[in-house]
Structure 1
Amino acid sequence: MRALIRSYLRHPSGMIGLVILLSIIVLAVFAPLICPGSPWDSVGQPFMRPDSPGLLLGSDSLGRDIASGIVHGASVSLLIGCVSTLAAVLIGLAIGATAGYLGGRVGDWLMRFTELFQVIPAFLLAILLVAILTPSIRTLTAAIALVSWPQLARLTRAEFIALREREFVQAARCQGESGIAIVLRQILPNALSPIIVTASLSVANAVLMESALSFMGLGDPNLMSWGFMIGEARTMIRVAWWMSAFPGLAILLTVMAINLVGEGLNDVLNPRISRR
């Protein structure tokens, strides 16, 4: 573990991404201290330009502080991204591990079930799920998780198929270990590296999907989010460019930071692949 940490600390792009991501997490955690009050409150005149007195990033059409919206919106995007990815990983691991280890008809049926979720494009399925249910942070998280797990399930299945006949697995079977013990103690630890990398990249996709859904008016109406801010500003780009530019920059930096962290993890956990 220490060797992996030292290797990651020597990875330049991975460290840049980690510093940016940690900065965004700090903003999200300490949002009530950095920008006290509600981001929905009007604190100035409408369309005040950036660097106005008391409004570093300007105000929107209702006089709301853009900086406050960005800081408070960080927690929404990160929370939905992380929780939905965690749920997708758990679902994908359960289905992919079962299909890969057991194989046969069970594996085939589980993969056919997985393909049902891949027939419809992920974003369209997420729109359908959120539109049917009442838009909220719970339905957003559930919808994004339900469209994100198939990729993780297929990856997990491929890793388990490659590992289930290896010598150390055969030795565990000969020692009388149960199937669950073999999966949890022998196969899963050796299959985690690509799953961790894919999960980290899935967080970025979840942040983008949440922003897109909020942009379309399918976000939680009680929470400020970056996608909602851009959606509110789309008809005022010529009048107040900063209303959409700064939330868009926040999304760009967050997604870029997560991708850089994922790239660093991939190079550290899979050094042979990264050298090719």
Structure 2
Amino acid sequence: MKTLASFLRHPAGVIGLVILTGVVVLAIVAPTLFPVDPWDMVAAPFQPPFDGETWLGSDMLGRDVAACIAYGARVSLLIGVSATLAALAIGVTVGAVAGYFGGRVDDILMRFVELFQTIPGFILAILLVATLGPSLSNVILAIGAVSWPQLARLTRAEFLRLRSREFVQAAVCQGQPPVSVVMRHILPNAVSPIIVTGSLMIASSILIESALSFMGLGDPNLMSWRFMIGASRSVMRQAWWMSVFPGIAIFLTVLAINLVGEGLNDTLNPRLSRKARGA
């Protein structure tokens, strides 16, 4: 409760939380607001916004832009959260093992992390999706595969900082197994920066998915915001609303997640935040 109260005193974080809540609610109630399939033709092609039966106009095939945005919120949030969870699972595991055991294990794992970091993340994501195929699961896998090294380094640094603390050494002297020491003593004290980084990574995952879909590497069977922008680039002058409204949706969602991440950072790491502002 104290953490929640501290977060609610952060204006930017509250604004981001309100916007993000609105996006989540929109994704949940999309079938209620728009009972028709977003791929269905419900109006005349290129119908302007607020003119006729569509709120935000229609695209070149007569599909409702508002319905596409509502259903696209589901895809973007699903990919952002799922890819971040995949990156957390890999990055935290690798970083925890490297930071706890150190020595040769640390050297081997860190060289493995550096190998991934030598390849530009977005290029690697393109190669993975192009090789495996543009499906939802492959897009999530590709984004998670390029996002975990940052989490691995962060987790390793936290474990290196905490493994020499008195309470950790006391647990080791009591004969507790490494898994118990990590899960009960080190990880709970290292989880704050991991949560903050993970929240910001959701926004990065949404942007990567948007870029992949814009290049034609998104799942063609799912309606997403960047698919809408990519499909409308050839008619941008004729039907500006087809790209502007989904672009605004991406902007607001990414902004909201970043604001929430900033609020979490100030709440969970107040000393580091004050030092950063002072620098």
Give TM-score, length-normalised by structure 2: 0.97
The 5 Å alignment of 1:39-118 reads 39-118=38-117
Aligned to 1:217: 216
**Distance in 2 of aligned mates of 1:142 and 1:34:** 31
- Which aligned runs of 4 or more in structure 1 are off by greater than 3 angstroms? none
Residue in 1 that maps onto 2:171: 172
Separation (CA, whole Å) in 2 of partners of 1:35 and 1:12: 33
Following the alignment from structure 2 to structure 1, what is the Cα–Cα distance between the partners of residues 161 and 273? 20
Aligned to 1:134: 133
Pairing 1:157-196 to 2, within 5 Å after superposition:
157-196=156-195
Per-residue deviation, 1:210? 0.6
Letter of the 2:55 partner, please give it: L
Q: How far does the alpha carbon of each residue in 1:228-274 deviate from its partner, in whole angstroms, 9 at most, with x for none?
A: 00000111111111110000000000000000000000000011122
SS in 2 for 1:40: coil
Separation (CA, whole Å) in 2 of partners of 1:46 and 1:210: 27
Q: Which amino acid aligns with 2:235?
A: M
Segment drifting more, 53-62 vs 70-79: 53-62
State the aligned residue count: 275
Q: Deviations over 1:46-91 (max 9, x none)?
A: 1111111111111111111100000000000000100110010011
SS of residue matched to 1:184: helix
Coordinate RMSD, CA, aligned:
0.8
1:235 alignment partner, SS class: helix
TM-aligned CA deviation for residue 207 of structure 1: 0.4
Q: C-alpha displacement at 1:275, in angstroms?
A: 2.0
The separation in 2 between residues aligned to 1:156 and 1:195, in whole angstroms, is: 7
Among all aligned residue pairs of Structure 1 and Structure 2, give the percentage whose two residues are the same amino acid.
Answer: 65
Is 1:228 aligned to residue 227 of structure 2? yes
Amino acid at match of 1:143: A
Residue 110 of structure 1 aligns to a residue whose secondary structure is helix
Comparing 29-38 with 196-205, greater Cα deviation is found at 29-38
> Does residue 1:152 correspond to 2:134, yes or no?
no
Aligned-partner Cα distance in 2 for 1:244–1:225: 12
* Structure 1 residue 45 displacement after superposition: 1.1
Instruction: Report the Cα distance in structure 1 between the residues aligned to 2:222 and 2:267, rounded to whole angstroms.
Output: 37
SS of residue matched to 2:38: coil
Distance across 2 between alignment mates of 1:188 and 1:196: 11
Counterpart amino acid of 1:38? D
Question: Partner letter of residue 239 of structure 1?
Answer: Q
The worse-fitting range, judged by mean Cα deviation, of 168-177 and 53-62 is 168-177
Q: 1:208-234 deviations in whole A, cap 9, x for unaligned?
A: 011111111111111100010000011
Partner AA of 1:40 in structure 2: W
Equivalent position of 1:240 in the other structure: 239
AA paired with 2:191?
Answer: L
By how many angstroms is 1:178 displaced? 1.4
Q: 1:80, 1:173 → 2: CA distance?
A: 39
Q: Which amino acid aligns with 1:204?
A: A
